[in-house]
Amino acid sequence: MTMQNLLEANSIRKSFGGFVALDAVDIAVRPGERVGLIGPNGSGKSTLVNCLSGAISSDTGTISFDGRAIERLPAYRRTRLGIVRTFQIPLPFMSMTVVENLTIPLRFAGRHHPGALTVVSDIEQALLILEDVGLRDKASESSARLTQVEMRKLELARAVAARPKLLIADETMAGLSHAEVDEIILLLLKLNDQGIAIIMIEHIMRAVIAFSQRAIVLVAGRKIADDAPDVVMNNAEVVRAYLGE
Amino acid sequence: MVTFNLLLNAVVTGILLGGFYAAVTIGITIAFGMLDIVNIAHPAFIIMGSFIAYIVNRTFGVDPILTVIVASPLFFLLGVAIFSFYHAAFEGSGKGSLRGLAFFFGMLFVIEVTLLLAFGVDYRLVQTSYIGPNVGFEHVDLPLRMVIPFVGSIALVSGLHIFFGHTFVGRAIMAVAQDEFALSLMAVDTVAIRQLAFGIAIATAAIAGGFLIVIQPVDPSLGREYIGRVFAICVLGGMGSIPGTVIAAFILGVVETITSTLVGPSWAPAVSFATLLLTLAVRPSGIMGR
Amino acid sequence: MRRFPSWVWPIAVAVFTLAVSRLVENEYYMFAGYVVLQYIVLASAWNILGGYAGYVNFGSAAFFAIGAYGTVVLDKLGEPPLVVAILFGGIVASLVGLVTAYLTLRLRGVFFAIATLALAIVLQTLVMNWEFVGGPLGVYTTRPDSITGFPGYVNYLFVVMLVLALISVLVARAIELSFVGRGLAAIRDNELAAECCGVPTFRLKVLAAMLSGGLMGMAGAPFPYYITYLDPNSAFSIAYGINSIAMPLVGGMSHWIGPVIGAVLLAVVQQVATVTISSELNLMIVGVLLISFITLAPNGVVGLFERYRQQRHWRPGK
């Protein structure tokens, strides 16, 4: 039985002036799948995320999500359809409290999701999500005064509040301690249990291996591997890209 | 009736004016294009320079351009001081750009009103040997009072172009303009560099003020006309690009003068602002923009 | 105080002011009061885009003048009732806001600010070259002698502006408390994050610009009858530009009451200064207040009040 791809992006090309950031990249994700996206710095991972989420538009290529062509849609519409991304550097709404931060995606994205809960109030839904990520006791705190880990969790919580079908977690674990990384992995697994497909972009290899069902490797804007994590890790070209000749 | 002669004179005058406009704008190219500081008060500093030239000229008879060149180090220090204050008060806060913008708008206002209180609403002019006579070629009559500032402006802008492209300090400023974060990681004092750059920007305003009062009489509210011009040129030229600024300045100078000649001088202020709106709508990265 | 929803207070104050205006005989107070009310409209309107969304508009004078000159045009064509002129001014100004926003709001906020400045000068130049409305010399607009139901036309203008002030305050409040206001706040805090959270940033910004511009246009519409002689310098006066920014800033940009506080404070100070010292100096006061507040108290009077309240309720260990 073949499952239709949730996300299908073909031949994504993006250049900045003379610099080719993405060179005909294909990426597909099935519903509920856990995909790791890795590659050396500057390989185009962030550019790819930006193109998928709509922050920038690709030069050529098609992107379809849930059967719909989305390459012409502005970012906010893609979010409403269910593609949600977090930011490498957390971007909380600093004038708002933690729980208020979540009311924004709940109101503007979550509501457009078929089957969205409209009986329970936004604040209550927000508190439930905060409970899930472990930020419940910080709900009334100003979001400007959180620790690094807490900000990463808030990013994830905000993404969840948008009711994603596909969550792109952009280097959520960068710079965190061993225990904190485990926390985030568990969190992502929990979200995946709820049916959310996840693309994890990371440099922390043990996290990618532990989490992903499939790993995609980008080097210098090109996809050079797309297979089970252990296969990818033993791929000669991948090893070369990371460790050099 | 529009003759070839008339048009030729208009174009040439436009080029002379354009050169001057480049000197007027270079301070914004630095402050806004390179440092991302929307110093909307820049024209007010220019007018300040003009009035200083006026006083010295009226009291001691000194040449206005000489005056402002001598005064420019003081303006440099003023720029450094203002940047230090701006940096301490507004940078680093989330809504910095909004507050900085309002800050400079307030400053524009305060400077203009101060000049108004000190000098009144009248136009002021200077007396020099080269205001009055023309230099004539076949078909073309060039007022010396425009030629001298033109030459001075080209010298100023070329000098700065060399400075930014080929001296250590100048290239440091350009580096900061491109990636301040990276530079700060390399233990470079980016704040000091930007202080320096902003000081230079304000110093150029003084010099442009000297040129301005040679070209035309100045009153305290003249700065407002120039706000549109400098930002139009800066944006059209492609933000931090000095060659872009020069090209855009020439374009604007010629278009303004031709419009003035064909349709009347009362339309001239609209030209620069309409150019700005058009550029923003069509190609915000400007001519030389990346 | 807490028993009433907050919209009761503007209406109550307006009704009270209306009652008082019937008793006041000296027309000077009507004239002065009109200016204060006009600034309440301008400041509240500015704040919808400037305070809530974070997009600074330097060209308030342009929208104000659209309303004023719209009335001049209508008046020359056939003297319509003032309400028609107000609606006309509001709609035209709103459309101009729409176009400006559409062209520039995809860029950074800084470019929008500069574009609004450009707009003001371009419009002023157009008007100066338009003979139908008097060009640089301006026009005279005859103020009707009287109008039924009011002791004088000036009194009528005062009441009209009072109603406009009430409307703009209630509109600002409605926006602030609605999902539009939440969306604008998200945009102001971080536009990229807002967009990725599903906020239709462009649409909301354009909506805010249209409302803001439209209200400013409505504020300008009665002006020709108030001043009876309108020329480009007075219609496009820079006082409108700087006051529209300074008043919400001084009062407090995050709350609908801020622009009201700032407008009343600054307008009264300027009236007093003009009469006692000079009209140039009163502009200086505004500029100095702008710089002082933006540096020391960026959240305005409302912000200072909140800080004071927080300090009073501070408990050790909290």
What element of type H or E holds B143? strand B141-143
State pLDDT tens for residues C29-40: 888 899 999 999
Mean pLDDT of C305-313: 83
pLDDT at C205: 94
Confidence of residue A1 (pLDDT cuts 50, 70, 90): very low
* Number of domains forming the structure of chain C: 1
Subunits next to B (3 or more Cβ pairs <8 Å) are A, C
Q: For residue A71, give Cα distances in angstroms to A61, B79, C308.
A: 8, 47, 50
Do A103 and C182 lie within an 8 Å CB cutoff? yes
CA–CA distance, B144 with B132 (Å, rounded to integer):
7
> Mean pLDDT over all residues of chain B?
87
DSSP-assigned letter for residue B218: B
Find the chain A residues whose C-beta atoms sit closer than 8 A to any C-beta of B. 17, 94-95
In terms of Cα–Cα distance, which of C254, C252, C255, C289 is closest to C269? Answer: C289
Mean pLDDT of B10-25: 94
Report if residue C242 sits inside a domain: no
Mutation target among B113, B222, B226, B282 for the C interface, most CBs of C within 10 A: B113
Subunits next to A (3 or more Cβ pairs <8 Å) are B, C
Burial of B125 (0-12, 13-18, 19+ CB in 10 A): middle
Residue A62 is which amino acid? Answer: T
Do A105 and C200 lie within an 8 Å CB cutoff? no
pLDDT at C314: 63
- Cross-strand partners of A8: A28, A64
Q: For residue B37, give Cα distances in angstroms to A90, C241, C291, C292.
A: 25, 21, 16, 19
What element of type H or E holds B142? strand B141-143
Confidence of residue A30 (pLDDT cuts 50, 70, 90): very high
User: Which residues, 6 or more positions from C310, have their beta carbon under 8 angstroms from its beta carbon?
Assistant: none
Q: Is C119 an interface residue toward B (CB < 8 Å)?
A: yes
What are the strands, taking DSSP E only, across chain C?
139-140, 229-230
Report if residue C87 sits inside a domain: yes
CB B226 within 8 A of CB B21: no
Residues of A in contact with C303 (CB under 8 A): none
Confidence of residue A245 (pLDDT cuts 50, 70, 90): very low
State pLDDT tens for residues A105-157: 999 997 766 555 566 788 888 998 998 888 999 899 899 889 988 999 999 99
Confidence of residue A2 (pLDDT cuts 50, 70, 90): low
CA–CA distance, C116 with C163 (Å, rounded to integer):
27
Residue B33 Cα, gap to closest chain A Cα (Å): 19
Distance between the two ends of chain A, CA-based, in angstroms? 42
CB C211 within 8 A of CB C98: no
In terms of Cα–Cα distance, which of A86, A168, A93 is closest to C191? Answer: A93
In a 3-state reduction of DSSP, which class is residue B126? coil
**Domain assignment of residue A126, given as a range:** 91-163
Angle at B19 between CA B14 and CA B23, to 5 degrees: 140
| Cα dihedral C212→B28→B106→C106 (10° resolution) | 20
Give the closest of C188, C189, C197 to A105, CB-based.
Answer: C197
Residue A194 Cα, gap to closest chain C Cα (Å): 20
Mean pLDDT of A22-41: 92
SS3 per residue for chain A = CCCCCCEEEEEEEEEECCEEEEEEEEEEECCCCEEEEECCCCCCHHHHHHHHHCCCCCCEEEEEECCEECCCCCHHHHHHHCEEECCCCCCCCCCCEHHHHHHHHHHHCHHHCCCCCCCCCHHHHHHHHHHHHCCHHHCCCEHHHCCHHHHHHHHHHHHHHCCCCEEEEECCCCCCCHHHHHHHHHHHHHHHHCCCEEEEECCCHHHHHHHCCEEEEEECCEEEEEECHHHHHCCHHHHHHHHCC
Q: Is C188 an interface residue toward B (CB < 8 Å)?
A: yes
Subunits next to C (3 or more Cβ pairs <8 Å) are A, B
Dihedral sign for Cα C67, C73, C76, C80, please. negative
Instruction: Dig out the tokens for C248 from the structure.
Output: 């919400």
CA–CA distance, C68 with C89 (Å, rounded to integer):
7
Lowest mean pLDDT among A58-72, A171-185, B211-225, C139-153: C139-153
Mean pLDDT of C176-181: 93
Mean pLDDT of B95-116: 83
- Is the pLDDT score of B284 beyond 80? no
Q: Is B116 an interface residue toward C (CB < 8 Å)?
A: yes
Mean pLDDT of A6-34: 90
Q: For residue C32, give Cα distances in angstroms to C67, C83, C215, C244.
A: 20, 22, 20, 18
Report if residue A75 sits inside a domain: no
**Pairs across B and C, CB distance < 8 A:** 118
Q: What is the ipTM of this complex?
A: 0.90
In terms of Cα–Cα distance, which of C83, C92, C80, C68 is closest to C220? Answer: C68
* Number of domains forming the structure of chain A: 1
Report if residue C311 sits inside a domain: no
Report if residue C69 sits inside a domain: yes
Residue C22 is which amino acid? Answer: R
Mean pLDDT of B127-147: 81
In a 3-state reduction of DSSP, which class is residue C123? helix
Report if residue A135 sits inside a domain: yes
Contacts 24+ apart (CB under 8 A), A217-220: A217/A38, A217/A39, A217/A241, A218/A25, A218/A37, A218/A38, A218/A39, A218/A43, A218/A44, A218/A45, A218/A48, A219/A39, A219/A40, A219/A43, A220/A23, A220/A42, A220/A43, A220/A44
Residue B250 Cα, gap to closest chain A Cα (Å): 27
Chain centre to alpha carbon of residue A46: 10
pLDDT at B2: 66
Neighbours of B178 (CB within 10 A): 11
Report if residue C47 sits inside a domain: yes
- Is the pLDDT score of B290 beyond 60? no
Report if residue C288 sits inside a domain: no
Greatest CA separation for chain C: 70
Mutation target among B101, B105, B119, B283 for the C interface, most CBs of C within 10 A: B105
Residue A142 Cα, gap to closest chain B Cα (Å): 14
Mean pLDDT of C63-76: 93
State pLDDT tens for residues C198-207: 999 999 999 9
Percent of chain B whose predicted confidence (pLDDT) is above 70: 94
pLDDT at C97: 93
Confidence of residue C142 (pLDDT cuts 50, 70, 90): confident
Q: Is B92 an interface residue toward A (CB < 8 Å)?
A: no
Do B280 and C115 lie within an 8 Å CB cutoff? yes
Q: Are strands A222-227 and A214-219 parallel, antiparallel or unpaired?
A: antiparallel
Q: Is C284 an interface residue toward B (CB < 8 Å)?
A: yes
State pLDDT tens for residues C180-198: 999 999 999 999 999 999 9
Lowest mean pLDDT among B237-241, C56-60, C206-210: B237-241
DSSP B235-275: HHHTTT-HHHHHHHHHHHHHHHHHHHHHH-GGGHHHHHHHH
CB C44 within 8 A of CB C253: no
> Mean pLDDT over all residues of chain C?
89
Do B290 and A94 lie within an 8 Å CB cutoff? no
Lowest mean pLDDT among B44-53, B88-97, B276-285, C267-276: B88-97
Do B95 and C119 lie within an 8 Å CB cutoff? no
CB A31 within 8 A of CB A6: yes
- Is the pLDDT score of C164 beyond 80? yes
Q: Is B290 an interface residue toward A (CB < 8 Å)?
A: yes
Lowest mean pLDDT among B9-13, B15-19, C218-222: B9-13
Give the closest of A76, A91, A96 to C200, CB-based.
Answer: A76
- Is the pLDDT score of A17 beyond 80? no
Report if residue C263 sits inside a domain: no
pLDDT at B141: 78
Report if residue A95 sits inside a domain: yes
State pLDDT tens for residues C35-63: 999 999 999 999 999 999 989 998 999 99
Confidence of residue C318 (pLDDT cuts 50, 70, 90): very low
Instruction: Dig out the tokens for C308 from the structure.
Output: 């004071």
**Domain assignment of residue C69, given as a range:** 8-236
pLDDT at C211: 96
Mean pLDDT of C19-27: 79
Report if residue A41 sits inside a domain: no
Mutation target among C46, C52, C104, C110 for the B interface, most CBs of B within 10 A: C110
Percent of chain A whose predicted confidence (pLDDT) is above 70: 94
